[in-house]
Structure formats: C-alpha cells, structure tokens
A and B are shown apart, each in its own frame.
Chain A
Amino acid sequence: MNFLFSNNDWLAILPEVFFVISINLILVYSVIYCTSPLFDFPLLINNVSWLSIQILFIVFVLNMNNYYCDIVVLNNFLIVDSFGNLIKSVILLSTICILLMSLRYNKFELINNFEFPILVMLTILGTLLLISSYDLIAMYLAIELQSFCSYILSAFKRNSEFSAEAGLKYFILGAFSSGFLLFGCSLIYGFTGATNYEQISLLLIGSNYSNLNNNGIVIGTIFILISFLFKISAAPFHLWSPDIYEGSPTTITAFFAIVPKIGLLTFFLRLFFDSLYTLFISWQDLLLIASIGSMIIGSFGAIWQIKLKRLLAFSAIGHVGYMLIGLCCCSVESVYGLIFYSIIYIFMSISSFSLLLIVRRNDNLKKLKYIEDLIVIAKTNPFIGFCFAITFFSIAGVPPLAGFFSKMFLFSSAISQSAYTLSVVGILTSVISCFYYLRIIQISYFEQNEEWISLKKPSKEISILISIITLILIVFFLHPSLLSILIHYSIVNLCF
C-alpha cells in the first residue's frame, strides 16, 4: 500500500487529518441535534463554539507534536516543516482567541447559527493546507477552500445590509482574483510543465534569465503576485477591504485582519522564495511599489475616517505595506522581520479588536461605532482605557512596547539591503499613522465627555485575553530574544 502514501505521510499530516474528521463530526452532530424536535431545536452556537475551541486546541497540540520535522508528503503535494508549523500554531492560537471573542458578540448580535464556528474552522483548514502546500494545484485548492468560507462568513449577519453587501463584494472581487491566480498557475504550468515548487525552482535555477524564452513564466508570476496582493489587500488592490471590514460582523473582521493574511504571506514566502526566487528581478519592483503604495494609502486614508472599523481597515492596509517591506527585501533578515512583525501584529490586532468587541452600551446594547464614542472609556472603565492606550501606542510603534520591535526588525532589514527609499517612506508614514492612533488615545483620555454612558461589564474570557496581551505588549522588551530564537530556527529552515 506504498504506491500512493507512505506511513510517515499520515503521521506528518495528522493534525490536518484530525481536523477534517472532527469538523465533519461536529457538523453531523450539530445538524442532527439542532433539528431534533425531542430537544426543542436547541441553539447550539455556544456549545459548538466551545467544542471548536477544544478541537483547535487539540490540533495545536498535535501540530506542536511534530514541530521539528521537515518532510515532503503525498507525492510532493504538501510540505511539513518547522516554518509552516510555527505559522500554523500562531494561526491556531489566534483563532482560539477569535472564537473566545465571538462568544459574547454572537449572543448580543443574535448570531445563533451553529455554522459560524464551523465555517471559521473550515477557513482555518484551508489556511493550514495553504501553508503546507508545495504544489500549485494544492495551493489553489487550499486558497479556494479558505476564500469560499470567507465569503460566507463576511455575509454572515443575514439581516444587515452592510454585511450582505460585504459578502457580495468580497465574493465577486475574490472570484476575480482567484481567476488571476489560476491563470498565472496555468501559465507557469504551460511554460515549465511542472506544478511542483521544487521542480519549478530546479528548472529556473539552471536557466539563464536573459536568454531563456520564459516570458510566460514571468507573466504567470506577475498574475500570481497580483492575486496575492489582492488577497492581502495591498495598495493598488486594496479598495475592497474597508467596505468588507466595515460590513462584516466584527469578529469576522478581526478574523480577516489576522488569519488569511498571515497564511497568504506564508504561501507567498514559500512559493516565491522556494521556487520563483530566480526571477526575483521581475517581481521585486512590483512588490516595492505595492509596499510604498500601501504604506502611504494606509496612513493617509485612515486620517479622515470616523468609524473605528474603517480606521482599523486602513491601518491594516498600512501594516500590509510594512510586511511587504519584508518580502521585497528578499533576505534572511527581512523574512525574519516579516514573521516577527506578523506575530506581533497578530497580538496587537487581537487586542484592538477584542477591545472593540468588549465595549457595549448598557442601555441599548449597541457597540461603539464611531471613534468619538470612545470618549467615555478611560473615565468609566479605566482599565479598558489603559489597554486601549497601550495597544494603540504599540501599534503606532512607540518603544519600549512590542510594536516597536516588530518595526525595528523590518526597517533594519531594509537598511541592510540598502533599501533606503523604502525605509524612509516607511518611517515617514509610520509617523503619519501615529497621528490617528494617538487620536484614539486622545479621545479616550484627554477630552471631557458631556454625557456619561455606562458600559456593559466585559465577559471573563475576553478580559483575561486582553490583560494577557496587554501584559505581553508591555513586558516584551524585557526578553525579546525568546521570540527571536523561535522564529530564527524556522526561518533558517525556510531559507536554506
């Protein structure tokens, strides 16, 4: 029975296998249970959410179990290495945080469908497969799994027009970009005859870039790149993201801000550093433009926003710009900086979004929608105000908070590659973006409120989550090496 899979393969992809089986089981369980008249059609959302959290945790443990392996499995279809495992564990943990955040949100926003956590888990499955994909076909299938679930999730609040609009927009534009991706893949396949990353890289390494008739490969690369830039909402292709951020349910917005992005970045690193690295002259400049554009649009676009979620959407565009610095410098340091940045960014996004979710008026149970609404926070709930301040100072990149270190490594890698324009633009835009991060602190701390609004007491899970993350952001500078060494190991694994 060795012609298709060897036994080792199953061991290596055990987390994914377990994940698929448990998703199916939980789906069956909830479908049967929620349609049973015997139990009076119970609402399963809370139950399923907790079950999903447990499943995700088990997957996390299984993933840590074969953390230090480096193996290509299923006929060169998937790769399991410590780089992917690091990202996978980060994604799993952050998804657990997001599901914790969503528990109370679903209760207040009357999202009672049990499909919500299941769809989130399916997206995660897609992301996990995307991270370990080692073949263009595997990559495309994984990306589609992830995207389809995302489309549904963004339209999940059925009675909201904004949400429906967001879902539709995301679907149409996402399908468009998937088309680009597929076209790029098929061009590469057509000109090389290979879909496997390693085979493509072997073909390209041997060939001389100038005299090989490889325009098709370059065009295919650019198509893939455009699709990638679209999916992580980088500058020329960013226009969908504020609308979708605004329309989707807030937990899903948090989810979009964190999970797909880092998954896609990993896929990009793998594809472009493993197989298309030889062609980097053709894609580096495009990334450079995208990076500078995203930084500028992210910083200037957010200044005039009055809604919190739109502000965070633009700030996410800016952050993508910073991450692209790491990609377009093409060095070990820059990849290191990129992963470091992404992990700290995840911390900060979880913190900022859970702060948004935690604040809810006591009288009409509405969330705070506008930045101006934050005016009461520091006065009525000093601790939440404090967490807000720390989080946004950190996002702004003020030392000694964790956000500074993430920017520090990116800019230092840019300097080490002599990318001075990039680093100067990055520095200037980060100062500009400070302006609107500081505005949040200013509104919550400095301004006098005319009316007093009492806020609902935050739930226990989310408070613990926020406290832990705020603590991490503060004390991170005491021992930054801890994360550094972890990341370094996996980077070395990817790059050499």
Chain B
Amino acid sequence: MLSLLITLPILGILSILIIPEYKVNLIKQVAFLSSLLTFICSLFLWVFFDNSTSKFQFIEYFDWMSLFNIHFFLGIDGISLFFVILSTFLVSICILNSWFSIKKHLKKYYVCFLLMDLFLIIVFSVLDIIVFYIFFESILIPMFLVIGVWGSRTRKLKAAYQFFLYTLIGSLFMLLAIFYMFFETGTTDFQILNTVLFSEDKELILWLAFFLSFSVKVPMVPVHIWLPEAHVEAPTSGSVILAGILLKMGTYGLLRFSLSLFPYASIYFTPLVYSLSAVAVIYTSLTTLRQVDLKKIIAYSSVAHMAFVTIGIFTFNLYGVEGSLLIMLSHGFISSALFLCIGVLYDRHHTRLIKYYSGLTQVMPLYSFFFVFFSMANLGFPGTSSFAGEFLTLIGSYQSNTFVTFLASTGMVLGAGYSLWLCNRVLFGPLTVNYIKQYTDITRREFAVLIPLLLCTVWMGVYPEIFLDTMHLTISNLLQKI
C-alpha cells in the first residue's frame, strides 16, 4: 500500500518529464491526476487502518545500506496517518490552485510539487531515523526552487536563502546526534532505538540537537525569522505547502522522535519549551497586529498556532497531545485556506498590502464568505476544527501548568483581535475605488479549491471524534513510555 503511494508521484514525475513543454494543459492534467490519485490512495490507508492497535501498520521493508544496517523501513501509525493524508491532500489542492497563476517553467513547477509530495509521504511514514533525516532535508531543494523561481519579488532571494540555511544549520546537528546514536546502538531503526535508554547526560545533549532541528522547522520563537520572509515571497501554493505541512514536520519530529526516544530529557526541558512557546504565542500575536502585508499576518499567526502545538505536545497527557495533533491538522486546513484566499486577491490585483483593499464584501460576496469563515476558524471559533484542538490543548496544559495555560489563552484573545481586525480592514468599510477599478468574485476553480477545506474544517470542528479515535491508542501508548 505504502509503496503504491510512493510509486504514484514518481510515475507522475516521470510522465511529466516526457511530455514536451508546450503541451501546457496535458502537463497540468497529468500532474493533477497523479496527485489526486495519490490522495485517493492515501485515503484508502485510513479505510484499512486498524484502530485497535498501536503498532505500525502497512509495514514495507527494503534493503538499502545493509553494510551499515540502515534500511528503508516504512510503516504508519495513528500519528503519521493523518500527516500523510494531509500532505497528499494539500499537494493536490496546490496543483489545482496554481492552474493559471503559474506561467513560466511549468514543467519544473509541477515536478517540484510532486517531488515534495513524494518526500513528504516518505518523511511521515519512514521508521529509520537516517532515512527520515535524508528526506526531511530533501524537501529543501524543491521548496528552495519554488520560493526562488516562482516567487514574486526580488526579496525572494533573501527569503529562499534564509529558509534554506536556517533549516540546514538546525538539521545538521540532528545528523550528528543521529550518528552518535548509531554508534552507541549500532542501529538507526526507530522501533529498536525506542527500546534503548541512553544515560541522562547524553540524552540531554541528543535532545537538544534534535530540538535545534525541529524548532527551526516548527518554528519556535528565536529562530522563526525565516518563516514570514519565506511565506511572503513564495507563490501562493508554496505558502500553502509551507504552512500546511512543512511546519508540521517539526512538530511531528518532536512528537515522534524527541518524546519517545528521550523521555527524560523531554521532561527535563519542558520549562524551556513552555517558555519559548508562551513567548511565541504572545509575541507573534502582538507582532501580527502591526503587519501591513496580508501574507505576513497569516505567517505570524501560524507561528502562534504552532506554539500552541508545542505546548500541547509537552503537556504529556492525552488531552494535550491529542489536542495538539488536532491543531496541527486544522492549522493545515485553515492557514492553507487563508493563504489561498490571499492568493485569490494577489492573482487579481498583484498586491498584498492591506492598504489597497477595503470593502470587498460589496463586490466579492462569495469571497468574503470564505474569508470570514476561515478567519473565524483561525481565531478558534466553536464549531470549527481549531476550537476542538485548542480546547483540548488548554485542558491538557491546565493539568500540567496553569500559568502557561493562562498565557496561551491570552494568545487566543489576541488571535481574535488580529483576525477580526483583518476582516474588518479588508472586507468591510468603504470600497476603495482609487487604486483598483475592477473586481471579480472567485471563479469556479477557486471555489472548488476552497470548498473541500471548508468542509474539512467544519467536519473536524463538529465531529472530531473520528480523528481522535484513530490516534487514540497510538498516543496513549506513546505517553505510557514517559
């Protein structure tokens, strides 16, 4: 099953490569078809997923570097299942979204996205930490190119560099830590390493090395600088992938590797994570208030939401961890949808500055509906997915640290502040006729892009049980170890 999932994007890439560049429509159709097939295939994973066990399922095993006891070992459990589905889902959304807005180097563009699809599936399903590292890093190449080649302004160079170098410097320390573990234990298989207990001092250092890598990816506060830059300069689909799924690689790594491999260190460093996250929630929420660029607002709000996730993960109880997983998924839908909404405006008018937009409700009613809905979802409105996640996270963190819960919940209030104010400025008020003369509402394609995200958000908000059921056993098994 998983090997089929990996083969589909590869087939897509190969078939795009042999299509000549001028057959524009064919390229788009093949790319979309293969990403859609991958998505459908990943949904079957969920259908055949066994809720009643916390073991890894759909195990696939390939001999890779037998000399060093490194193998290509794939498997999925309740945590990684949703990330795989989310990534295939978002990639197909992205490909549909960039149907008309991308005009140059079309072939490479779609190859980049299918490559990211492939790498993401492997990252979320691989059970060997060196292979995990390899694909964790590999995503840098297509994403670097997406930001650099198809980005909008000249500042994209700086953004692409920051994205690349920040991530690289963090992850290379993880690589050293992985080598160390390899030479201590003689294996890089995650399941075997799970049974190994390192001495306390070593655990602390290894945890820090892993944390350095994941915190850049999440991003935690002192190293979050690359994120707003990268988001602003990337094309819409690039931002969607970046916010929707690349950030989750960091939190997924914390949950999967840091927590279960180094339980002692995780508890030891909980105050550090809490304080960084609390600072992130408040600081980035306040920063959001003074941004003038639409994409930067969403980017900073992403940092705030990811800080919620890290608080949730480090509560070490079922509510917190499940809540943080829900936030990750819902953030995948909501921030992607908001970036897509901004992309709609940018495709039409080629500016993202708030100053030029006002009173859009009068001319773009359907668009305004989506924008208001997703803004509400972003601030954690009851009935949307974010509410379910944030509620559970706050319950969880209340059990472990009341003060942090208090600080995090101020973030929710501030979130309501910037989301509503953003809606207010962009959608309501007098229509600006000085700058923009002609307005058109969203097209059928854009509607088709946004509606699945809306449905998912509502579904997850109204009935999160179906998601929680699937991840329940895996998470309780993970927490038993701590």
Which residues of A pack against B, CB within 8 Å? 382, 389, 393, 398-400, 404, 408, 411-412, 415-416, 420, 423-424, 427-428, 430-431, 434-435, 438, 441-442, 445-447, 477, 479-481, 484-485, 488
Contact of A404 among B134, B151, B160 (CB under 8 A): B134
Does B223 have its Cβ within 8 Å of any Cβ on chain A? no
> In the docked arrangement, what's the CA distance between A249 and B337, Å?
56
> In the docked arrangement, what's the CA distance between A357 and B130, Å?
36
What are 8 A-B contacts with C-beta separation under 8 Å?
A393-B141, A398-B168, A400-B135, A400-B138, A411-B176, A420-B176, A431-B172, A442-B161
What chain B residues lie within 8 Å of A420 (beta carbons)? 176
What chain B residues lie within 8 Å of A404 (beta carbons)? 134, 137
What chain A residues lie within 8 Å of B195 (beta carbons)? none
Whether the Cβ atoms of B138 and A431 lie closer than 8 Å is: no
Which residues of B pack against A, CB within 8 Å? 63-68, 105, 130, 133-135, 137-138, 140-141, 144-145, 148-149, 151, 156-157, 160-161, 164-165, 168-169, 172-173, 175-176, 179-180, 182-183
Residue on B nearest A412 in the bound complex, by CB: B179
Whether the Cβ atoms of A445 and B149 lie closer than 8 Å is: yes
Whether the Cβ atoms of B157 and A446 lie closer than 8 Å is: yes
Whether the Cβ atoms of B148 and A446 lie closer than 8 Å is: yes
Residue on B nearest A390 in the bound complex, by CB: B141
> In the docked arrangement, what's the CA distance between A28 and B68, Å?
51
Whether the Cβ atoms of B134 and A477 lie closer than 8 Å is: yes
Smallest CB–CB gap between B124 and chain A, Å?
A: 16
Residue on A nearest B68 in the bound complex, by CB: A484
Whether the Cβ atoms of A412 and B182 lie closer than 8 Å is: yes
Whether the Cβ atoms of B140 and A438 lie closer than 8 Å is: no
Residue on B nearest A420 in the bound complex, by CB: B176
Whether the Cβ atoms of B64 and A415 lie closer than 8 Å is: no
Residue on B nearest A485 in the bound complex, by CB: B67
> In the docked arrangement, what's the CA distance between A428 and B65, Å?
27
By Cβ-Cβ distance, the 6 closest A-B pairs, closest first, are A415-B179, A399-B134, A446-B148, A427-B172, A412-B179, A416-B183
Contact of A431 among B144, B165, B179, B182 (CB under 8 A): B165
What chain B residues lie within 8 Å of A416 (beta carbons)? 179, 183
What chain A residues lie within 8 Å of B149 (beta carbons)? 445-446
> In the docked arrangement, what's the CA distance between A292 and B150, Å?
38
Known: A399-B135, A442-B148, A477-B134. A427 touches B173 (CB 8 A): yes
Contact of A446 among B67, B134, B160, B173 (CB under 8 A): B160
Whether the Cβ atoms of B138 and A398 lie closer than 8 Å is: yes
Whether the Cβ atoms of B66 and A481 lie closer than 8 Å is: yes
Max chain B C-beta neighbours (<10 A), residue from A399, A434, A441, A446: A399
Known: A481-B66, A485-B67. A442 touches B169 (CB 8 A): no
What chain B residues lie within 8 Å of A400 (beta carbons)? 134-135, 138
> In the docked arrangement, what's the CA distance between A442 and B161, Å?
9
Contact of B183 among A415, A428, A447 (CB under 8 A): A415
Smallest CB–CB gap between A42 and chain B, Å?
A: 44
Whether the Cβ atoms of A446 and B138 lie closer than 8 Å is: no
Residue on B nearest A446 in the bound complex, by CB: B148
Smallest CB–CB gap between B383 and chain A, Å?
A: 43
Contacts A382-B105, A431-B168, A442-B148 known; 6 new A-B pairs at CB < 8 A? A400-B134, A415-B179, A420-B176, A431-B165, A438-B144, A447-B157
Smallest CB–CB gap between B166 and chain A, Å?
A: 10
What chain A residues lie within 8 Å of B172 (beta carbons)? 427, 430-431
Smallest CB–CB gap between A316 and chain B, Å?
A: 21
